[in-house]
Structure 1
Amino acid sequence: MFDLHRLRLLRELKHRGTLAAVAAALSYAPSSVSQQLSLLESEVGVPLLEPVGRRVRLTEQAEILVAHTEAVLERLERAEADIAASLSDLTGTLRIASFQTAALALVPTALGLLRERHPHLRVHVTHMEPEKALPALHARDFDLVLAEEYPGNPNPRPAELEQEDLLDDPLQLALPTPAGTADGKGPTAALRSLADHPWVMEPEGTAARHWAVTLCRNAGFEPDVRFETTDLLLHLRLVEQGHAAALLPGLVGTGQSPTVTLRPLPRGQRVRRILTVVRRGRGRHPAVRACRKALRRAVGLRSDPA
């Protein structure tokens, strides 16, 4: 019988990449992690790690063990969900990661609904972009992640994660005042009219940046990106003061009237999907189900405040 704790350490190493990262995540000393993995190698009877420069990588046999460990942990997630479902009240801690606009527009309302229905449930929320939050969910740092998908840029969908649609969030071109109103121009022409204007976009490497640059290139120009930030409220402020053009989602307005001139985007590029993502087997947990229900209610209250 293999030791489950040591198997989990091996799994952590696969997802976090280094012994130091595993140690930091679990508050262990790196030497302790190394010792536990050496003991696991003795139990299994074959090498599990091989050196690659100053790092290590998993052997083929280690990958087999990790795959079985994932199955065991999924089963334990289901067992935890069944135990929680048998109780009369929700307790414990639910760990959520959310990107900025969803955190501003939806999460506070959802937290209020959860507090009203489940006062003994402790909810911990971290602001984190999906590019980092989804790997962290896989590594068991979170229970639920609010993520986004831009047109033509679907997220990777590993078998170990399950996602559920939450809402479609409209995307629009935000025109800075000095650039005019682009009245009478079609969506592509309105985009092209800003070819020589500064832009604000999210940083390179994000799905939003890839989508935005591709959109501009398809309109026939390379955007002059002078401002880079994941803070979409700063995007809005830069547009308001005429410093940059931007591509803004509806959630950034938090239900208020637009403060900048907005124009539609070309067909097929007008909506991003907002999703909730959990590990496979975790979606049955009553706390996750309650959170998803509260988020759906928050979406409904936003679209129909009355």
Structure 2
Amino acid sequence: MIDLRRLQVLRVLREEGTVTATARALYLTPSAVSQQLRLLSREIGAELLQPEGRRVRLTPAAHIVLEHADAIAAEWEQARADLAAHSGGAVGQVRVGGFATSFGSLLAPAAARLRDSHPRLEVRLRETDIDDSLRLLLAEQADIAILPVPGTPPLDDPRFDQRLLLDDPQDLVVPAAHGFAERDSVRLAETAHETWIAPHHDQFQLIEVACAAAGFAPRVAHEAAEWNSVLTLVSHGLGICLLPRLATVSPDHHVVRIPLRDKPAPSRSVLTCVRRGSRAQPAIAAVLQALEEVARNRQSG
């Protein structure tokens, strides 16, 4: 008989690469992780790890086990869904991780809606980046992640169930005194000679791809990780940027956002991501439904 908790430790080790990082992800001590893996090796009857300097390498036997572990984990999540449906529906706690701009437009409104409609359901929100969201899901420290594309795993990744929540168009954001500020719309090609602000990595990837499709490479003068910093730089006339429509702009920033009339206009997809097999769990399903309703209302409005 194999302990599913020990299989989970092996799955997380595959992602983290070291016993120390695995322990951190699972809120265990390194010695506890090592013990769980030794016990799993004994249960299976094969060595799973091979020392390699300060790291460990998965043996061929470990890779065989992991090929089955993802399917076993998905079946167990489905079993939990069936049990939860039988025993009382959408109750308990659901932990949701999301990127910063998803909070004001998606996560907070959905959580507020559920507070009124499902008083026995507790929704806990946590701001995370893509990598942290996936680690938290795998470590069962989160139940739902809201992820922007690019940066997500392949859709056929056996560990996750990812589905489109909404499309998030990109607007051009310029200083209030900029020549484009009075325009109703702009073609991206018209910005070819402008100076650009580079936001965080995934968003700048999108900008580079959009600009390449318009026939130019953006000339970057400054870089900033947070949208508040990006908008501050733009407001002082230090460059322009593309801004997701989910992101809000304060009047204090003195910038103007302008729709792009390119066909197709630059956009990113926003996905919901859960552990495969867990989407049908009543509490998780209730949160996903609330997120979908907020997303539909936003796009229809």
Q: Structure 1 length as normaliser, TM-score?
A: 0.86
How big is each residue's C-alpha offset from its partner over 1:212-260, in whole Å with a ceiling of 9 and x where there is no partner? 123334532342141221x22433343233232110111113799x950
1:244/1:117 CA distance change after superposition, 3 Å: same
Structure 2 match to 1:156? 154
- Closer, same or farther: CA 64–222 of 1 in aligned 2, 3 Å: same
* Pair 265,16 (structure 1): closer, same or farther in 2 beyond 3 Å: farther
| Matched residue type, 1:174 | V
Q: State percent identity of aligned pairs.
A: 33
Letter in 1 for 2:93: T
Q: CA RMSD in A?
A: 2.7
Residue 227 of structure 2 corresponds to residue 232 of structure 1: yes
Which position in structure 1 is the counterpart of 2:247? Answer: 252
Q: Which residue of 1 aligns with 2:12?
A: 12
Q: Deviations over 1:173-229 (max 9, x none)?
A: 2222454218699614322131xx2x32223xx332212123334532342141221
What 5-or-longer segments of structure 2 have no aligned partner?
A: none
Which of 99-108 and 84-93 deviates more?
84-93
Q: Provide the C-alpha distance between the structure 1 equivalents of 2:261 and 2:118, rounded to a whole number of angstroms.
A: 41
Runs of 5+ in structure 1 lacking a partner? none
Letter in 1 for 2:285: R
Residue 93 (structure 1) aligns with: 93
| Whole-angstrom distance in 1 between the partners of 2:46 and 2:271 | 41
CA distance in 2, matches of 1:238, 1:216: 20
Cα distance, 1:184–1:31 mapped onto 2, change above 3 Å: closer
Residue 27 (structure 1) shift: 3.0
Per the TM alignment, residue 23 of structure 1 is displaced from its structure 2 partner at its CA by 1.7
* Cα distance change, pair 25–185 in 1 and its aligned pair in 2 (3 A): closer
- With over 3 angstroms needed to count, the CA separation of the structure-2 counterparts of 1:27 and 1:263, relative to structure 1, is closer
Assess if the C-alpha contact under 8 Å between 2:9 and 2:33 holds in 1. yes
What amino acid sits opposite 1:201 in the alignment? Answer: A
**2:283 corresponds to which residue?**
287
- Paired residue for 2:206, among 181, 194, 211? 211
Q: Counterpart in 1 of 2:114?
A: 114
Distance (whole Å) between structure 1 residues aligned to residue 74 and residue 17 of structure 2: 21
The aligned length equals 296
2:258 is the counterpart of 1:262: yes
SS in 2 for 1:273: strand
Aligned AA (2:238)? H
Amino acid at match of 2:163: E
Rounded Cα–Cα distance in structure 2 between residues aligned with 1:31 and 1:186? 59
Q: Distance in 2 between matches of 1:50 and 1:269?
A: 50
Aligned residue number for residue 200 of structure 1: 197
Structure 2 length normalisation: TM-score? 0.87
